[in-house]
């Protein structure tokens, strides 16, 4: 069916040209081929997203500025603020983990909240300034992890209770509210609305046909701003980023990254992630040791959370991405049912990937809080660096993979190359 140039989108998951109907407030448009979300129509998007972003920023000032967790350890009172965690890791010579904490928990979320507030406000921004802010937002959004850190704090409480009496302050509840408002702002904010204010999303001079793929109509999708471009465009006119019809070479990147993460996964499990020193006597614990300790202590749900997040998810992600690469490259006869299964697998991999950082955040909290120089202390060990690298590399691998290759026929892959 021929549709108007202003009322269609090109699905980023399966490359299908889709006609957009009138979408009621609170509803979203779904791709009829792969069931991916195409467009959301949120009521008063700018006002609500800005409101939640501002509330989140206010809460984070309270949460970061004061002690938010304390522990009574062998008669001594020890309290830390969120900012004390990366500082402690840095002085323990784990600047890599400290930098990851600063970026994923502190810097990137605050930066994206500020960008959301600015873009949704009535500030007189030029389209070039909006473009730059949106590019930064899109690049950093995948790496924001305040909600994962919050879960890591809750998991660490179970371990900390074996050392002493745990207490939380108003700053902890402020951080909980920060995460709540942050997620609300993230869900409501629609970057595509801001992109369409800069320029319409269609740069094709031809009339398009719904129900057919973009590649069959000599079209490609900008990976940055989701604009629809003719295949001969080297750069997207809207966001000025380079664009390819297919990222076939990124399968090789994905495979290389998966091999790297698999190699690093071995020392991540063999070496300890924490060193506990009691009266000068050190003992090292690995990820599996932590799971066994929680299980034997009767904290079965927490043991399962750590085991799934730190052992099962990394392995499943490596296996799943390897299977996706095989399906995209080697399977010649593809039907919709199998492609849908692969698409669901890819969506699951994208969603669960960063949750393996829970163990890193648990170690960070415990090592920052349990410090009584005369009696006992907990310190990070080399295994935490290997494990963090596994999580980061597998996340990059999933981002490198182009899900449209799941649906492409062999001849389309040759065009993309």
The more confidently predicted of residues 68 and 281 is: 68
pLDDT per position as a tens digit, 50-69: 999 999 999 999 998 888 88
pLDDT level of residue 182 (50, 70, 90 thresholds): very high
DSSP 8-state class, residue 107? I
Q: Which residues contact 303 (CB under 8 A, 6 or more apart)?
A: 291, 292, 294, 295
pLDDT at residue 415 is higher than 70? no
How large is the greatest C-alpha to C-alpha distance in the chain, in angstroms? 77
Across 89-100, average pLDDT: 92
pLDDT per position as a tens digit, 300-339: 887 888 888 888 889 999 999 999 999 988 888 888 889 9
Q: In this predicted structure, what is the pLDDT of residue 5?
A: 42
pLDDT level of residue 291 (50, 70, 90 thresholds): confident
Contact (Cβ atoms closer than 8 angstroms) between residue 389 and residue 325: no
Across 212-220, average pLDDT: 88
Contact (Cβ atoms closer than 8 angstroms) between residue 352 and residue 314: no
CA-CA distances (angstroms) from residue 1 to 18, 34, 144, 212, 217?
10, 19, 40, 9, 13
Nearest-angstrom CA–CA distance, 390 and 266:
10
Is the backbone of residue 244 left (phi > 0), alpha (psi -120 to 50) or beta?
Answer: beta
Across 367-385, average pLDDT: 81
- Top mean-pLDDT range of 7-16, 35-44, 65-74, 392-401: 392-401
The number of C-alpha atoms within 13 Å of 108 and in the hemisphere containing its C-beta is: 20
Nearest-angstrom CA–CA distance, 116 and 114:
5
The more confidently predicted of residues 100 and 78 is: 100
pLDDT at residue 76 is higher than 80? no
The counts of H helices and E strands in the chain are: 16, 13
Nearest-angstrom CA–CA distance, 356 and 138:
22
pLDDT at residue 416 is higher than 50? no
Closest CA to 232 of 248, 216, 220, 222: 220
Q: In this predicted structure, what is the pLDDT of residue 410?
A: 58
pLDDT at residue 200 is higher than 90? no
Closest CA to 356 of 327, 397, 324, 325: 397
Q: Which two tokens stand for residue 236?
A: 């997207």
Nearest-angstrom CA–CA distance, 343 and 15:
13
Q: Give residue for tokens 């990937």.
A: 353
Q: 246-417 adopts what CATH topology?
A: Butyryl-CoA Dehydrogenase, subunit A; domain 3 (1.20.140)
Q: In this predicted structure, what is the pLDDT of residue 138?
A: 92
Q: Which two tokens stand for residue 316?
A: 């499943």
pLDDT at residue 158 is higher than 90? no
Q: Which residues pair with 80 in a beta bridge?
A: 69
pLDDT at residue 247 is higher than 70? no
pLDDT at residue 232 is higher than 70? yes
Nearest-angstrom CA–CA distance, 113 and 140:
11
Of the given ranges (204-213, 356-365, 367-376), which has the lowest mean pLDDT?
A: 367-376
Q: Give the phi and the psi of residue 223 in degrees, each rounded to 5.
A: -70, -15
Q: In this predicted structure, what is the pLDDT of residue 341?
A: 92
Contact (Cβ atoms closer than 8 angstroms) between residue 8 and residue 203: no
pLDDT at residue 299 is higher than 90? no
Q: Is 94 helix (H, G, I), strand (E, B) or coil?
A: coil
Nearest-angstrom CA–CA distance, 319 and 258:
9
Q: Where are the domains of the chain?
A: 8-41+200-230, 246-417
Across 340-352, average pLDDT: 90
The more confidently predicted of residues 118 and 376 is: 118
pLDDT at residue 34 is higher than 80? yes
Nearest-angstrom CA–CA distance, 290 and 219:
51
Nearest-angstrom CA–CA distance, 153 and 78:
16
Across 138-156, average pLDDT: 93
pLDDT at residue 87 is higher than 90? yes
The more confidently predicted of residues 16 and 333 is: 16
Q: In this predicted structure, what is the pLDDT of residue 374?
A: 63
pLDDT level of residue 263 (50, 70, 90 thresholds): very high
Report CA torsion sign: 102, 266, 352, 192.
positive
Contact (Cβ atoms closer than 8 angstroms) between residue 79 and residue 69: yes
Would strands 219-221 and 228-230 be described as parallel, antiparallel, or unpaired? antiparallel
Q: Give the DSSP H/E element, type plus range, for residue 28.
A: strand 28-30
pLDDT per position as a tens digit, 124-134: 888 889 999 99
What is the DSSP code string of 371-391? EETTTEEEEE-HHHHHHHHHH
Contact (Cβ atoms closer than 8 angstroms) between residue 157 and residue 370: no
Nearest-angstrom CA–CA distance, 84 and 211:
54
pLDDT at residue 417 is higher than 50? no
* CA-CA-CA-CA dihedral for 78, 83, 85, 91, to nearest 10: -100
Closest CA to 40 of 191, 205, 217: 191
Say whether pTM exceeds 0.85: yes
Nearest-angstrom CA–CA distance, 39 and 397:
26
pLDDT at residue 412 is higher than 80? no
Q: In this predicted structure, what is the pLDDT of residue 113?
A: 97
- Name all contacts of 228-237 with Cβ < 8 Å and 24+ positions apart: 228/8, 228/9, 228/10, 228/201, 228/202, 228/203, 228/204, 229/203, 229/204, 230/203, 230/204, 230/205, 233/203, 236/203, 237/199, 237/203
């Amino acid at each position: 069916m021929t549709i108007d140039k202003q009322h269609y989108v090109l699905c980023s998951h399966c490359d299908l040209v889709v006609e957009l109907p009138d979408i009621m407030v609170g509803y979203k448009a779904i791709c009829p081929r792969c069931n991916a979300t195409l467009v959301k129509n949120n009521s008063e998007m700018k006002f609500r997203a800005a409101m939640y972003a501002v509330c989140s920023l206010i809460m984070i000032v309270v949460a970061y500025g004061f002690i938010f967790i304390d522990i009574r350890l062998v008669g001594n009172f020890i309290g830390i603020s969120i900012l004390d965690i990366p500082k402690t890791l840095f002085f323990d010579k784990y600047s890599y983990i400290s930098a990851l904490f600063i970026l994923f928990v502190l810097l990137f979320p605050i930066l994206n909240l500020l960008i959301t507030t600015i873009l949704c406000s009535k500030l007189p921004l030029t389209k070039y300034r909006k473009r730059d802010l949106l590019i930064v937002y899109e690049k950093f959004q995948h790496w924001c992890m305040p909600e994962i850190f919050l879960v890591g704090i809750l998991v660490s409480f179970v371990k900390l209770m074996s050392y002493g009496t745990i207490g939380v302050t108003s700053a902890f509840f402020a951080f909980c509210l920060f995460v709540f408002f942050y997620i609300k702002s993230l869900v409501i904010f629609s970057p595509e609305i801001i992109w369409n204010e800069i320029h319409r999303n269609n740069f094709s001079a031809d009339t398009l046909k719904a129900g057919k793929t973009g590649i069959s109509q000599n079209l490609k999708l900008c990976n940055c701003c989701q604009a629809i471009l003719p295949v001969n465009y080297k750069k997207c006119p809207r966001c000025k980023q380079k664009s390819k019809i297919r990222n076939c070479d990124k399968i090789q990147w994905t495979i290389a990254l998966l091999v790297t993460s698999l190699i690093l996964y071995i020392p991540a499990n063999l070496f300890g992630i924490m060193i506990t020193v009691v009266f000068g006597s050190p003992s090292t614990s690995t990820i599996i040791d932590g799971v066994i300790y929680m299980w034997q202590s009767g904290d079965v749900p927490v043991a399962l959370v750590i085991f799934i997040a730190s052992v099962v998810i990394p392995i499943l992600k490596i296996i799943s991405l390897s299977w996706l690469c095989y399906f995209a490259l080697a399977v010649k006869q593809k039907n919709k049912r199998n492609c849908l299964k692969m698409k669901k697998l890819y969506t699951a991999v994208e969603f669960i990937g960063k949750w393996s950082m829970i163990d890193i955040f648990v170690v960070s909290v415990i090592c920052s809080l349990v410090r009584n120089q005369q009696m006992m202390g907990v310190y990070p060990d080399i295994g935490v660096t290997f494990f963090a690298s596994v999580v980061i590399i597998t996340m990059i691998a999933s981002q490198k993979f182009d899900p449209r290759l799941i649906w492409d026929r062999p001849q389309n892959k040759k065009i993309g190359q």
